Chain A
């Protein structure tokens, strides 16, 4: 299936999902980039995984980007049967209390990766059964991958 066919299959079911337009001078791969409102994320993921034509069975990675005004949570999906790749981006504008629904129930692969995003970027995933820090100590203050993070001087500074 081509990217256009995947997009039309998705939009037939979820009209609020849009393809992210490519700006002039902005390089990008051949993947299909989709912008999804947080409320529709889990339904869209379930559809992408269970639809027999699409069959996006492999969640390659979950990550997040701090774009100063908002956060992007990025999901990279691969369909091993039709060899297609889709990048889903969810925009979170609330910097004080950012939340994106968890997709652990769709792909358990998201388990530790969502915890990592929470740990390093401070985005919470309601619906996750174990939303705790994973790489940093439990009593760490702040989320280091945020652009406004100020590291505390330690004995080496």
Chain B
């Protein structure tokens, strides 16, 4: 694919107005940016001619902090990255450390991880369904997806680990604690009822003519452009590119599971949204299979109380709700990593905005930005 790289990028803080058109600063405090993100946009009439996201407002130097923390302490830091998918972050980090340690995870812990991670995906996609609706002007789905179904998942998480946002539940070698009595049955009841709720979203939002008018055939991203810009997760699959870490580079016990990888056709805003709806159904399938497989057993591998991670390097990654989330670790044998790099899917997904907004109307900017589904904690790290 030929990539059109400009010779010079537009200024984030221009000193004078562009010769043609107008300069608009979207954010850093704007209801639809879902956090502190600023997009410097120049428009000609109603058409966007250039867009420069301005990030870093939430930068907490997690990679530097990690160099001064022990490995179990870093799990706490990972909670704060993509705060809508903390369980997936915990797991991705533990995958990287476990590769270095070479530790075998008990089956029950691995299945609990899968149940938790898929519930986390459902909760995270519920946030997108709610907030994307609000961005476009539909308020009701937010009350249902965000206020009702996501709350139920958070209640389940609270019951298993005591926290609602920053879980620190998946630990190196297993999980923090076994599921309390009756928890798995509650998950089964939730999974059964959730299918009906997803159908409800379809009638409320997915096939709503006003919503479709605002999102169909808007912000198309062709597949070769998507993969060249490093897009992953539902955004990439909406473009018709079938790549899912669970299927293509499996981790945990995913090879045992039957699930489909939904893909779109043209990669417009509606299909990016629709991928989330389809993925919730697939996640529910995985949860139900895991509930059928799970048997009593250990939830933590036999590990010494104090252990040293051997020297080496590893990359552990998984399919988070927003895409390929990974940790690249370099260990020198000391109690803390020599270097930790975080591949934050939101950060890499967001950069395509520079190209994806060009040529669309100002009103579409919010639809395109909302459909990419970023979390600023993960963008700025």
Contact = CB atoms under 8 A, between A and B. Distances in A.
Q: Do A and B come from one complex?
A: yes
B255 interface: no
B178 interface: no
- What interface size band does chain B fall in? 35 or more
B230 A25 contact: no
Contacts of B380: 135
A129 B56 contact: no
A130 interface: yes
Interface in B303-352: 310-315, 317, 324, 326, 328, 330-331, 338-339, 341, 343, 347-348, 350-352
Contacts of B310: 25, 27
- What interface size band does chain A fall in? 35 or more
A113 to B, nearest CB: 7
B64 A144 contact: yes
B60 to A, nearest CB: 10
A70 interface: no
B232 to A, nearest CB: 8
Given A27-B311, A80-B248, A83-B249, A109 B229 contact: yes
A136 interface: yes
A64 to B, nearest CB: 8
B9 A108 contact: no
A108 to B, nearest CB: 5
Interface string A66-79: 10000000101010
A100 to B, nearest CB: 16
B9 A130 contact: yes
A72 to B, nearest CB: 9
B313 A27 contact: yes
B56 A135 contact: yes
B59 A136 contact: yes
B258 interface: no
Interface of B: 3, 5-9, 55-56, 59, 61, 63-64, 99-100, 102, 224, 227-230, 241, 243, 248-249, 310-315, 317, 324, 326, 328, 330-331, 338-339, 341, 343, 347-348, 350-352, 354-355, 380-381
